[in-house]
Structure 1
Amino acid sequence: MPQLNPNPWFFIMLTSWLTLSLIIQPKLLSFITTNPLSSKAPSIRKTTPWTWPWT
């Protein structure tokens, strides 16, 4: 059964993993985030409790 031979598949997996981690991942991490952090304090909204008709 040729599926049990790990020779070609291990090399393909190793090559794809190294490509992802060494080439693609740093390029993706270099992008600026679309929602930068703000130093503003979050506004606290006053909410009213829901009045349930059966209580």
Structure 2
Amino acid sequence: MPQLNPNPWFTIMVLTWFTFSLLIQPKLLSFTPTNKPMNKTVTTKPTQWIWPWT
């Protein structure tokens, strides 16, 4: 069964991950996000619903 032979596919996978890790990822991480993160204000909890039959 040729699917069990890892000889060509393992090297392709390793080369692909090295390419991604060393070349593509630093280029992608160098971009700055368009929207800066903002501090979210803490909101107060709403009052609980008061059921008329309790």
TM-score by length of 2: 0.67
CA distance in 2, matches of 1:11, 1:33: 34
Once the two structures are TM-superposed, the CA of residue 49 in structure 1 deviates from its matched residue by 6.9
Q: Kindly report the root-mean-square deviation, in angstroms, between the aligned alpha carbons of the 2 structures.
A: 2.5
Where in structure 1 are there 5+ consecutive unaligned residues?
A: none
Identity %: 59
Q: Which letter maps to 2:4?
A: L
Count of aligned pairs between the two proteins: 54
- Rate the CA distance shift 1:6–1:41 in 2: closer, same or farther, 3 A: closer
Q: Deviations 1:8-40 (Å, cap 9, x if unpaired)?
A: 0000000110011111100000001111245x6
Q: Which letter maps to 1:28?
A: L
Partner SS state of residue 19, structure 1: helix
5 Å-filtered alignment, 1:24-39, equals 24-38=24-38
5 Å-filtered alignment, 1:1-55, equals 1-38=1-38, 42=41, 44=43
